[in-house]
């Protein structure tokens, strides 16, 4: 079985703002596009326009309607991908060493050349963040776009995961969560960011920011439905009186 390296000082990961995410799936499309054309084997798709399409995605967005104790129901969009856990069970169950955690930055990756497609890592992951590629028959997962963030051929602003670079709402943030002074660490502290399913003991690096409390329910249409004037005057008044004389036109 694969051994985990000692905890790294650098812990690269994502911070996802559940209050800001609008569920547009731009991150899903950007992730699919980048990881199909670059790192590792392409993300497979079979019969994409048929009756039973199958394919693999490294990032998905789930939407839930949540009823708080007070106020109206809220629609929460929940993006999910690999959380690059410090104590990653997907790594320690791998029989070939294909799943591994980088000692220098904590990113969890899959060496596809060594993957035998046994699926043990997917069974071990409590978050369902791994997918067996239906075409390549190897395990796929979020790479944090490791081929982007260290690519000096890209402009500095592009050296971040494709999902972060693409998000139109600014709901996704990338940085070193091992540095308490980093922007992402300060954001987590300010917004009370939390781990997903901390009871699993995996110590996920990625954090989520909770939705903010919404205002009380307001009927925004009511003011628009109020009559502008009780008695019509001028040309509009003449039309109102004329139409009122027609059969069925009113009193």
Here the tokens at position 25 are 């799936």
Neighbouring residues of 89: CB distance < 8 A, sequence distance ≥ 6: 124, 125, 126, 202
Q: Give the pLDDT band of residue 230 (cuts 50, 70, 90).
A: low
Quote the mean pLDDT of the chain: 89
Here the tokens at position 44 are 């497979």
Going along the chain from its start, the domains and CATH numbers come out as 12-209 (3.30.70.20)
Neighbouring residues of 64: CB distance < 8 A, sequence distance ≥ 6: 75, 76, 78
**pTM of the shown model:** 0.81
Neighbouring residues of 199: CB distance < 8 A, sequence distance ≥ 6: none
Q: Per-residue pLDDT for 136 more than 80?
A: yes
Average pLDDT (90-117) is 95
CA 175 to each of CA 10, 12, 86, 188, 228: distance values in angstroms, whole numbers, following the listed order: 9, 6, 16, 11, 53
Q: Per-residue pLDDT for 9 more than 80?
A: yes
pLDDT value of residue 37: 77
Environment class of 173 (CB within 10 Å of its CB; exposed 0-12, middle 13-18, buried 19+): buried
Environment class of 200 (CB within 10 Å of its CB; exposed 0-12, middle 13-18, buried 19+): middle
Contact 103, 93 (CB under 8 A): no
Pick the range with the lowest mean pLDDT from 20-29, 100-109, 128-137. Answer: 128-137
CA 201 to chain centre: 22
Pick the range with the lowest mean pLDDT from 35-44, 139-148, 159-168, 207-216. Answer: 35-44
Backbone angles phi, psi at 99, to 5 degrees: -85, 130
- Can you point out the beta strands (E) in the chain? 12-17, 45-46, 54-55, 60-66, 74-80, 99-101, 108-110, 131-132, 139-140, 172-176, 207-209
Q: Where do runs of H (alpha helix) occur along 115-221?
A: 120-124, 146-149, 162-166, 183-191
Average pLDDT (39-58) is 83
Apex 134 CA angle, 129 and 135, nearest 5: 130
């Amino acid at each position: 079985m694969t051994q985990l390296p000692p905890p790294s000082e650098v812990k690269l990961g994502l911070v996802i703002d559940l209050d800001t995410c609008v569920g547009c799936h731009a991150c899903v499309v950007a992730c699919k596009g980048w990881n199909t054309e670059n790192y590792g084997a392409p993300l497979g798709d079979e019969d994409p326009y048929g009756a039973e399409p199958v394919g693999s995605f490294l990032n998905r967005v789930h939407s839930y309607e949540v009823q708080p104790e007070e106020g109206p129901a809220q629609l929460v969009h929940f993006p999910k991908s690999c959380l690059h856990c410090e104590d990653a069970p997907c790594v320690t169950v791998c029989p070939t060493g294909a799943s591994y955690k980088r000692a220098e930055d904590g990113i969890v990756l899959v060496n596809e050349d060594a993957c035998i497609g046994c699926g043990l890592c997917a069974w071990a992951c409590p978050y369902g963040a791994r997918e067996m590629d239906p075409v390549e028959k190897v395990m796929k997962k979020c790479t944090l776009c490791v081929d982007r963030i260290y690519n000096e051929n890209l402009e500095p602003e592009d050296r971040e995961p494709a999902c972060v670079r693409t998000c139109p709402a600014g709901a996704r943030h990338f940085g070193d969560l091992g540095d308490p002074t980093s922007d992402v660490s300060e954001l987590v502290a300010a917004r009370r960011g939390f781990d997903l399913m901390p009871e699993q003991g995996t110590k996920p690096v990625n954090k989520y920011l909770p939705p903010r409390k919404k205002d009380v329910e307001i009927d925004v249409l009511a003011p628009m439905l109020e009559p502008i004037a009780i008695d019509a005057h001028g040309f509009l008044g003449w039309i109102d009186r004329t139409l009122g004389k027609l059969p069925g036109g009113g009193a």
